[in-house]
Amino acid sequence: MSQRRLKVALLQHACSDEPAVNRKHIEALVREAAGNGAQLILLQELHNSRYFCQHEDSHLFDLAEPIPGPSTEWLAALAGELGCVIVGSLFEKRAPGIYHNTAVVLDSDGSLAGRYRKMHIPDDPGYYEKFYFTPGDLGFEPIDTSVGRLGVLVCWDQWFPEGARLMSLAGAELLLYPTAIGWDSRDTQDEQQRQLQAWQLSQRAHAVHNGLPVLSCNRTGLEPDPSGASPGAHFWGHSFVCGPQGELLAEAGEDAGILYAEISLERAEQVRRIWPYLRDRRIDAYAEILKRFRD
């Protein structure tokens, strides 16, 4: 680590149904963030398109692309030109019939530092991801970059302490979640608030449990359901950055925009010295975590 403080930027935005328009908008945001000194830029999940998993349509596999491919070339060129690390989120075409929800990390020298294929795949009304995405087969492996070792996970992963733990055990210095989560307008306001709060609680607790900062970048805006089966998805924004005690360093509302934060990579070690959870884990007694259910 050549630097112990890091300026990060999270790009929270709405998406149009025109990928070219989205890419142009993202590029402008990336340039603005880098111009303001961001060294690490986190994009939201599947930022190049609308969230197409609201319904199941086999034509939508046409949105997928290989990695490396056009989008990694585009983001790598930006990262290299601007001298920052960019974490993007793409619909990966690996082979006919094998597609992944894949995060990519472009290093500040313009190289593809690595990829992470979403391991936990959701499937619930309006989020039909099991149709589109083959579960990841690369495991929970952090990606080394010029700004540190990044534990990149994606959306649904954010609800699973196992993924966060495996990343921290592998030396991740921060966790990053590109995500796309929203409300169902048919739920009550109380339920919507509980969901938003649970979403933050879960991820802020990963920070606490593992003693490292967490960055979560969510999309915003209302996207209609092309099938007409639902009122659409109301992505709730509220991207945030928290420190290693789960303390909020920056938090967006629902509006689109760039969320900045400065994080200390030294503080994590200080926190782990007063709260040495990794020292005390009962690895002799955890074997049944590998079971589906202990019945």
- Active-site residue numbers? 45, 118, 155
Residue 1 in contact with its own copies, rule: CB under 8 A = no
Residue 283 in contact with its own copies, rule: CB under 8 A = yes
Q: Is 141 exposed, middle or buried (0-12, 13-18, 19+ CB in 10 A)?
A: middle
Instruction: Give yes or no for a contact between 218 and 235, defined as CB atoms under 8 angstroms apart.
Output: yes
Q: Which parts of the chain are beta strand (E)? A: 5-12, 40-43, 85-95, 98-106, 112-117, 143-145, 148-152, 174-179, 182-183, 214-218, 220-223, 233-236, 240-242, 248-251, 257-264
Residue 197 in contact with its own copies, rule: CB under 8 A = yes
Both tokens of residue 56? 């199941």
Of 36-44, 175-183, 249-257, 285-293, the window that binds its own copies (rule: CB under 8 A) is 285-293
Please pick, from the candidates 49, 134, 202, 230, the single residue that binds its own copies as defined by CB under 8 A.
202
Q: What is the DSSP letter of 221?
A: E
Residue 124 in contact with its own copies, rule: CB under 8 A = yes
For its own copies, the closer of residues 211 and 237 by Cβ is 211
Residue 177 in contact with its own copies, rule: CB under 8 A = no
Instruction: Give yes or no for a contact between 208 and 168, defined as CB atoms under 8 angstroms apart.
Output: no
Residue 285 in contact with its own copies, rule: CB under 8 A = yes
Residue 293 in contact with its own copies, rule: CB under 8 A = yes
Residue 117 in contact with its own copies, rule: CB under 8 A = no
Rounded to 5 degrees, φ, ψ at 244 are: -70, -5
For its own copies, the closer of residues 59 and 282 by Cβ is 282
For its own copies, the closer of residues 16 and 195 by Cβ is 195
Please pick, from the candidates 1, 198, 222, 229, the single residue that binds its own copies as defined by CB under 8 A.
198
Residue 186 in contact with its own copies, rule: CB under 8 A = no
**Would you say the C-alpha torsion 119, 124, 127, 131 has a positive or negative sign?**
positive
Helix (H) or strand (E) holding 79: helix 70-82
Residue 194 in contact with its own copies, rule: CB under 8 A = yes
Please pick, from the candidates 154, 166, 259, 261, the single residue that binds its own copies as defined by CB under 8 A.
166
Instruction: Give yes or no for a contact between 48 and 64, defined as CB atoms under 8 angstroms apart.
Output: no
Both tokens of residue 203? 């991820």
Residues that bind its own copies (CB under 8 A): 119-122, 124, 135, 139-140, 156, 159-163, 165-166, 169-171, 194-195, 197-198, 201-202, 204-206, 208-209, 245-247, 274-278, 280-283, 285-295
